[in-house]
Structure 1
Amino acid sequence: MKALKYKGVHDIGFVDVPIPEPGPGQVRLKVTACGVCHTDVTFKNNPELAVEPGLTLGHEIAGQVESHGPGVLSPPLGTPVVVHTIWSCGNCRQCVRGRQNACLSTPSRLVPPQGPGTRYDGGMAEYVVVPVTSVVHAETLAPELAAVLPDAATVPYHAIYSCRDLLTPGASALIIGVGGLGQFAVSILRAVTPARVIAVDIRDSALETVRNQVDAVLNSNSDNLPDRVVTAAGGHGPDLVLDFVGSDATLRLATSVVAPYGTVWVPGQAGGTFTIDTDRRTTTIPRGATIVGRPYAGTRQNLTEVVALAANGSITAPITTYPFADALHALDDLDAGRIVGRAVLTME
């Protein structure tokens, strides 16, 4: 079969490899679609963050169960599924609580649990072997939508679900960066909360994709942007801020507008920093605010609930599809910023 492998920095290409055999507790999937993520581009371009050479890329996987490993009896062969992005140990105290994204089987507290396309061979291949505990049924979903749900939808859903007690009638949420994850965040907020939604992005084209779904859109270059955000949020700032960029500028914005006892979640990984000023005479961070840095993925239950929302038509986002043979073109388009929404490879 053909697989898209990371060979080294700036070197990703197709390789012919044997079809993998599922081991105990595993199933083999015939891949139907696989998302292309900025993580894949990062591996390609940044040697400090790259994976081991020889790894098959792709952590957003949709497929059909094609074969069972020893001891596995379900799902039935042919069942369409999606794959959770974290393959946790299942035994530590966090996993027992259902918090696979906090699994303690990692080598240090700073290393997150891994999964397909990061430590194990991923879904940019004709077939992939995955733990049966990682699959979620997705019978009614188009493969290209199903593929992006484990990352692009589950990450914002995890944040929104975790902060659901904040998002009561009259509350507001700010989305900074309305790319693929930000667009799903808007869709999820509309589907499961009554909150007002404000979108901020530096790209007018991105803002146009969500203009009809949100209560206010603001370009990052707007004059007096923090004041305008606070006003749009009703005068006291947004109760939840989701920063899908994570730059110095967006972190300053997030912490300067969040409401008292509100929460800032920072899934963005642009390398920004901010300072917590504890002097109440000069600080811009309000009383009681919570800042959640480096939130990681989501739980398997989060993914199950996201699939259900997508299945009933409650959430969606723009998707650009490419044939699997054009995977390198898709990576280049994503790297160059030519994609609004998510890119997905489809298998023919």
Structure 2
Amino acid sequence: MLAFRLIQPQEPPRLEEIPRPSPGPGQLLIKVGGCGLCHTDLGLMKRTREEWFDTPPPLTLGHEIAGWVAQIGQGVVGFKSGEPVAVVPVWGSCGHCAPCRRGEENFCYYISRLIGAGVGLDGGLAEYMLVEARFVVPMGDFDPVLAAPLTDAGLTTYTAIKPALPSLVPGSTAVVIGVGGLGMLAVQFLRTLCAARVIAVDTDAAHLELAKEHGADVALSSDASTAALIRDITSGAGASFVLDCVGAESTLTTGVAALARLGRLTLVGAALKTIPFGLHEVPWGAQLTTSLNGGTVNLREVIELARLGRIEAIVDRYPLDHVADAYRALADGKLRGRAVCIPGVTESIS
């Protein structure tokens, strides 16, 4: 089968023909219908051998995966051959602690470092892939190409937003900083799930216009005056919830400055910057939290929202054999939504 493989650390990945795997006990073989690309992948390509710890390449990239059950391993129940499914990207969970038992495997007490599809183990930029059945979610008749970005971009933002929903009552305000692939889905979740005013913030005018089309009440250009504008819009109160999908020092600073007392700022962006935390550095009573991906329970809910038409994944489609072009478009900021590579297709897709 064809797969997009990172062979050596810090070397350009390449397409290779490799053997089609077979499922062992507790595993499923998934025929990949779509695999989304993510900025995380670009970071993985730059990792040194030491940064891979005990799971260095070679490996197949790609962690946003949906497709169909192709083969069922021994002991697996509850799945049918040919059934459409989506895959949770984070696989390092124990399966036994309280968060795992609740279906919040991403918060497993015993995950020591991030490992999963395309991150230490073979991912979904291939025609087929193996995964433990406990990380697979049935999704009815939903299109795997549209589902693929929801397994990370959708799951990450939904998991971050869900705890804030009780405070997002009429008259409150939610702010999404960075309305690219993650933020655009966040705007839709907020519009669907709460009655708060939704403000989109970005440096890209096209992204802001698209955010307004998908439910943002207000769209603001990101600069040094953004926090003050948000306070003006909220009559000085600030935002009850801020979701930072960037994680740069400037966006974190804006988020804290725009946050209401007793508000909640959640960071999901991976720019890896920090800001001061102290008694006078954040609004009184405010919560600053982080969130990473999500678990099987939330993925089921995300897929169901998409099946009902409540959210829409904006997808730029690429054949698997054009995956290098897709990564270049991602790195250059030329994508309209999330890039999804489709195995078995050899011609350009509109």
What is the CA distance between 1:278 and its match in structure 2? 2.3
Structure 1: 5+ residue stretches without partners = none
Counterpart Cα distance in 2 of 1:324 and 1:147: 14
Query: What residue in structure 1 maps to residue 66 of structure 2?
Result: 62
Q: Does the aligned pair in 2 maintain the 1:156–1:184 contact within 8 Å?
A: yes
What is the CA distance between 1:104 and its match in structure 2? 2.8
Runs of 4+ in 1 over 6 A off after TM superposition: none
Query: What residue in structure 1 maps to residue 219 of structure 2?
Result: 217
Query: What residue in structure 1 maps to residue 289 of structure 2?
Result: 292
What is the CA distance between 1:159 and its match in structure 2? 1.1
Query: What residue in structure 2 maps to residue 19 of structure 1?
Result: 20
2:320 corresponds to 1:320: no
2:252 corresponds to 1:251: yes
Counterpart Cα distance in 2 of 1:234 and 1:190: 21
Query: What residue in structure 1 maps to residue 86 of structure 2?
Result: 82
Q: Pick from 60, 83, 104 the counterpart of residue 109 of structure 2.
A: 104
Query: What residue in structure 1 maps to residue 265 of structure 2?
Result: 264
Counterpart Cα distance in 2 of 1:214 and 1:173: 10
Describe the SS at the equivalent of 1:163.
helix
What is the CA distance between 1:49 and its match in structure 2? 5.3
Query: What residue in structure 1 maps to residue 154 of structure 2?
Result: 153
Question: Normalised by the size of structure 2, how large is the TM-score?
Answer: 0.93
Counterpart Cα distance in 2 of 1:244 and 1:18: 38
The amino acid across from 1:290 in the alignment is Q
1:176-187 paired onto structure 2 within 5 Å: 176-187=177-188
Question: 1:275-329 CA distances to partner (integer Å, 9 max, x unpaired)?
Answer: 12424xxx4x211000013x11112111000000000000013210000110111
TM-aligned CA distance change 1:337 to 1:82, over 3 Å: same
The amino acid across from 2:307 in the alignment is A
Query: What residue in structure 2 maps to residue 52 of structure 1?
Result: 56
2:121 corresponds to 1:116: no
Counterpart Cα distance in 1 of 2:183 and 2:304: 19
2:222 corresponds to 1:237: no
What is the CA distance between 1:235 and its match in structure 2? 2.8
Question: Normalised by the size of structure 1, how large is the TM-score?
Answer: 0.93
Over the aligned positions, Cα root-mean-square deviation in angstroms equals: 1.5
Counterpart Cα distance in 2 of 1:162 and 1:269: 20
Q: Pick from 43, 68, 75 the counterpart of residue 71 of structure 1.
A: 75
Query: What residue in structure 2 maps to residue 5 of structure 1?
Result: 5
Query: What residue in structure 2 maps to residue 127 of structure 1?
Result: 128
Q: Pick from 336, 340, 350 the counterpart of residue 340 of structure 1.
A: 336
Counterpart Cα distance in 1 of 2:45 and 2:233: 39
Query: What residue in structure 2 maps to residue 305 of structure 1?
Result: 301
Counterpart Cα distance in 1 of 2:273 and 2:242: 16
What is the CA distance between 1:46 and its match in structure 2? 4.2
Question: 1:236-277 CA distances to partner (integer Å, 9 max, x unpaired)?
Answer: 111110001111100100111101101000111112211124
Counterpart Cα distance in 2 of 1:267 and 1:120: 23
What is the CA distance between 1:96 and its match in structure 2? 2.2
Query: What residue in structure 1 maps to residue 204 of structure 2?
Result: 203
Query: What residue in structure 1 maps to residue 99 of structure 2?
Result: 94
Counterpart Cα distance in 1 of 2:313 and 2:125: 21
Counterpart Cα distance in 2 of 1:38 and 1:134: 22
Counterpart Cα distance in 2 of 1:147 and 1:291: 29
Q: Does the aligned pair in 2 maintain the 1:32–1:143 contact within 8 Å?
A: yes
TM-aligned CA distance change 1:66 to 1:328, over 3 Å: same
Query: What residue in structure 2 maps to residue 41 of structure 1?
Result: 42
Mean Cα deviation higher: 302-311 or 4-13:
4-13
What is the CA distance between 1:140 and its match in structure 2? 2.3
What is the CA distance between 1:135 and its match in structure 2? 1.2
Structure 2: 5+ residue stretches without partners = 345-350
The amino acid across from 2:185 in the alignment is F
Counterpart Cα distance in 2 of 1:196 and 1:317: 22
What is the CA distance between 1:61 and its match in structure 2? 0.6
Counterpart Cα distance in 1 of 2:295 and 2:304: 14
Query: What residue in structure 2 maps to residue 193 of structure 1?
Result: 194
In the alignment of these two chains, the number of paired residues is: 338
Describe the SS at the equivalent of 1:298.
coil
Question: 1:142-174 CA distances to partner (integer Å, 9 max, x unpaired)?
Answer: 221111111011111011111111111211100
TM-aligned CA distance change 1:178 to 1:126, over 3 Å: same
The amino acid across from 1:92 in the alignment is C
TM-aligned CA distance change 1:133 to 1:234, over 3 Å: farther
Q: Does the aligned pair in 2 maintain the 1:323–1:346 contact within 8 Å?
A: yes
